[in-house]
Structure 1
Amino acid sequence: MNITVEHVTKTFGEKKALNDLSLSLEANKIYGLLGRNGAGKTTLMQMLAGHITPTDGEVKVEGLSPFENREVLKNICFISENNNFKKKLKIKDVLKVSSLVYPNWSQEVANDLLARFNLSGKMSTKGLSKGMESALGITIGLASQAPLTIFDEPYIGLDASARYLFYDLILEAYQEKPRTIILSTHLIDEVSNLFEEVVVIQKGQKLLHETAENMMNKALHISGKEDVVDAFIKNQNVIHQSVIAGRKSAVLFGGPYNLAEVREHRLTIESINVQQLMVYLTEENRSGKLYV
Structure 2
Amino acid sequence: MLKFDNVSFSYSRRRGPVIKDFSFDIEPGGVYGLLGKNGVGKSTLLYLMAGALTPSRGEVLYLGVNTRLRLPSTLSDMFIVPEEFVLPTISIRDFVRVNSVFYPDFSSDDMRRHLDVFGMDEGVNLGELSMGQKKKALMSFALACNTPLVIMDEPTNGLDIPGKDAFRRFIAGGMRDDRTFVISTHQVRDMDQMLDHIIIMDDARILLNAGISEIGRRFKFTLTDSPAVISSALYASPSIGGTAVVLPNKDGRETEIDVEMLFNLATERPYIVQSVFSDYKTQIDNGCQ
Superposed pair shares fold, TM > 0.5: yes
CA positional deviation for 1:228 = 7.3
Whether 1:251 aligns to 2:251 is: no
The DSSP-based 3-state class of the residue aligned with 1:71 is helix
Whether 1:144 aligns to 2:138 is: no
The DSSP-based 3-state class of the residue aligned with 1:15 is coil
Do the aligned residues in 2 keep the contact of 1:87 with 1:126 (CA within 8 Å)? Answer: yes
Do the aligned residues in 1 keep the contact of 2:35 with 2:201 (CA within 8 Å)? Answer: yes
Q: Which residue of 1 aligns with 2:179?
A: 179
The DSSP-based 3-state class of the residue aligned with 1:54 is coil
Select 1:277's aligned residue among 259, 262, 270: 262
Rg comparison, structure with higher value: 1
Q: Which residue of 1 aligns with 2:29?
A: 28
The amino acid that maps onto 2:80 is F
The Cα offsets for residues 101-148 of structure 1, whole Å up to 9 and x where unpaired, read as 212111111122223323333322222112211111211111111111
Select 2:235's aligned residue among 227, 236, 240: 240
Whether 1:8 aligns to 2:2 is: no
Select 1:70's aligned residue among 69, 72, 75: 72
After superposition, the CA RMSD in angstroms is: 2.8
Q: Which residue of 2 aligns with 1:218?
A: 218
Do the aligned residues in 1 keep the contact of 2:38 with 2:186 (CA within 8 Å)? Answer: no
Q: Which residue of 2 aligns with 1:43?
A: 44
Compared with structure 1, are the counterparts of its residues 276 and 123 closer, same or farther at alpha carbon in structure 2 (3 Å cutoff)?
same
Number of aligned residue pairs: 265
Partners of 1:278 and 1:243 in 2: CA distance: 16
Q: Which residue of 1 aligns with 2:206?
A: 206
Whether 1:156 aligns to 2:157 is: yes
Q: Which residue of 1 aligns with 2:98?
A: 97
Identity %: 25
**Structure 1: gaps spanning 5 or more residues:** 260-270
Partners of 1:9 and 1:118 in 2: CA distance: 41
The DSSP-based 3-state class of the residue aligned with 2:192 is helix
Range that drifts further, 91-100 or 111-120: 111-120
Moved over 4 A (4+): 221-230, 241-244, 247-250
Compared with structure 1, are the counterparts of its residues 128 and 248 closer, same or farther at alpha carbon in structure 2 (3 Å cutoff)?
closer
The DSSP-based 3-state class of the residue aligned with 2:90 is coil
Compared with structure 1, are the counterparts of its residues 215 and 126 closer, same or farther at alpha carbon in structure 2 (3 Å cutoff)?
same
Partners of 1:125 and 1:162 in 2: CA distance: 17
Do the aligned residues in 2 keep the contact of 1:7 with 1:57 (CA within 8 Å)? Answer: yes
CA positional deviation for 1:241 = 4.3
The DSSP-based 3-state class of the residue aligned with 1:47 is helix
The DSSP-based 3-state class of the residue aligned with 2:156 is coil
TM-score (norm 1): 0.80
**Structure 2: gaps spanning 5 or more residues:** 274-289
Partners of 2:165 and 2:78 in 1: CA distance: 24
Do the aligned residues in 1 keep the contact of 2:118 with 2:163 (CA within 8 Å)? Answer: yes
The amino acid that maps onto 2:214 is N
The Cα offsets for residues 153-187 of structure 1, whole Å up to 9 and x where unpaired, read as 12322222222222122222213x63111112233
Compared with structure 1, are the counterparts of its residues 98 and 256 closer, same or farther at alpha carbon in structure 2 (3 Å cutoff)?
farther
CA positional deviation for 1:152 = 1.2
Partners of 1:156 and 1:225 in 2: CA distance: 37
Whether 1:87 aligns to 2:82 is: no
